[in-house]
Amino acid sequence: MLAATALVLSACGDEGGDDDDDSPGAEDSPTTTEPKGDGTLTFGTLLPATGDLAFLGPPEFAGVTLAVEDINAAGGVLGQDVVQVKGDSGDGTPDIAGSQVDKLLNANSDVIVGAASSGVSITVIDKITGAGAVQFSPANTAAGFDTDEIDPNRLYFRTAPSDYLQGEVLANEVIEDGFDNVAIMGRQDFYGEGLAERTRDVLEEKGATVSEFILYNKDATTFTAEVNQLAAAEPDAIVLVTFAEITTLIPQLIAKGLGPQDVQLYFVDGNLSNYPDEDFNLDGVKGTAPTSATPDPEFEARLKATPPMGPDDALLYGPESYDAVIISALAAIAAGDDSGEAVGANIVDVTREGTKCTTFEECKTLLEDGEDIDYDGKSGQADMTDTGSLAAGTYGIYEYSGGDNAYEEIDKVSGVVPPSE
């Protein structure tokens, strides 16, 4: 496309001119395309300061802030410091996200980092990419984003692995734990349906019985009917694909004899959080969420020290947020242009099939020396498919213990992300 544009510009330049241009160096003059950006790479953050996924906000905001600091400390992008403009996705309330996108686009955001919720991202993707900006989520895991119909503009990317892999990892863990009568309860939205269905399909492929499969209204505030259905199925394990409504659901499960001390429960990335202020005891509950194959303790310490991170905040999606910003900045350098279209056209290329590099400064130097790069970041290998999703990923297996409703990683599984169906 860039080459074709250059040819058109060259042809237009001949209008009114002489075909026999004898000016010095005319035959050797390179044809270039003028940058479309305004000279400053601007990141808008559409991340959850409020809403159902507000517990994910602190590490995600901190990841973006830390990346911006590291980029500017290394000289910025194309000779200018990069800029951050903050917005609140209000994950769980898409109306907030829409107005916040308007705010970020009006602030000349070239890249919008977010949303955390796949269900929110799907409501604003057309507005963002249709305006020529990149949408780069650090936390969207819905398998449905891998289809061309979702983003014909090809300006959507993510640093979280697809739920097509998470469903497989989660189902395998349930099977390996010895359970074969499993109930699944999930949110009826773009995220919940896909992950619940993928988990069900893998469980059944491996010989387990899914005795109850429930999709509930994502705006529900009580779950009496659903809990009664679960109790009637008498499962020996329950997979819960929820957001923050898990704090309402757990007491109702306990009242029906389906609590953590009665039945094996499994969480997912949407509800895997520390719950220090809740009265129930989650000891024994397991869960899955993306993690780094090779954690960086020094980076994690820096992330924890970056506002708005607090002492009880987990690191979930902080590294992925950091990487989304670094990758976008490297793509702008590769393009020589900070516009969203130019950045988007180079994001996949800077993550694969080049010289390996792991920091912004190192990668920037390679790019300025004319080398292709293959960035691997704080969340792990960043190699992307042509659809802007990770080609492989790592999921942690977590467990709550100690009576304080805090979880810790007990294992991790890496794998290639299979193509969604």
Angle at 87 between CA 83 and CA 90, to 5 degrees: 155
**Residue 374 phi, psi dihedral angles, 5° rounding:** -135, 95
Nearest in space to 237 (alpha carbons), one of 211, 218, 275, 206: 211
pLDDT for the residue numbered 13: 36
The per-residue pLDDT for range 145-200, each reduced to its tens digit, is 877 788 888 999 999 999 999 999 999 999 999 999 999 999 999 999 999 999 99
Look up the pTM and report it.
0.85
The structure tokens 């290329």 sit at 349
Question: What per-residue confidence (pLDDT) applies to 94?
Answer: 58
Please provide the distance, in angstroms rounded to a whole number, between the alpha carbons at the two ends of the chain. 30
Nearest CA among 339, 349, 394, 393 for reference residue 375: 349
pLDDT at 152: 87
- 197, 421 in Cβ contact below 8 A? no
Mean pLDDT of the chain: 89
Compute the distance between CA of residue 285 and CA of residue 305 in angstroms, rounded to an integer.
29
pLDDT per residue over 320-367, tens digit each? 999 999 999 999 999 999 999 999 999 999 999 999 999 999 999 999
Average pLDDT of the residues in 31-50: 85
Q: What is the pLDDT of residue 294?
A: 83
List pLDDT tens digits, range 180-193: 999 999 999 999 99
Maximal C-alpha separation, the chain: 90
Place of tokens 């290394």: 74
The pLDDT of residue 418 is 66
Handedness of CA 155, 420, 113, 82 (dihedral sign): negative
Q: Please write the tens of the pLDDT for every residue from 69-105.
A: 999 999 999 999 999 999 999 876 657 899 999 999 9
Rounded Cα–Cα distance for residues 327 and 329 (Å): 5
Token pair of 50, please?
């409020």
Kindly report, residue by residue over 371-414, the tens digit of the pLDDT.
999 999 999 889 999 889 999 999 999 999 999 999 999 999 99
Binned at pLDDT 50, 70 and 90, residue 306 comes out as: very high
Q: What are phi and psi of 407, to 5 degrees?
A: -110, 160
Q: What is the pLDDT of residue 61?
A: 97
Report pLDDT for 419: 60
Q: Is the pLDDT of residue 60 over 80?
A: yes
Distance of CA 392 to the CA centre of its chain: 13
Q: Which residue has the tokens 């090809």?
A: 154
- Residue 8 confidence (pLDDT): 34
The token pair that represents 340 in the structure block: 């969203």
Alpha-carbon dihedral 85, 349, 125, 360, rounded to 10 degrees: -20
φ/ψ (deg, to 5) at 75 = 105, 0
Whether 274 has a pLDDT exceeding 80, the answer reads: yes
pLDDT tens, position by position, 201-220: 999 999 999 999 999 998 88
Report residue 53 CA to chain centroid gap: 13
How confident is the model at residue 313, as a pLDDT? 84
Own/partner long-range contacts of 348-351 (Cβ < 8 Å, ≥24 apart): 348/157, 348/384, 348/385, 348/386, 348/388, 350/374, 350/375, 351/327, 351/375, 351/382, 351/383, 351/384
Half-sphere exposure of 261 (CA within 13 A, CB side): 6
> Which secondary-structure segment (H or E) carries 395?
strand 392-401
State both tokens at 243. Answer: 């957001």
Q: If we measure between CA atoms, which residue out of 332, 288, 321 comes closest to residue 48?
A: 321
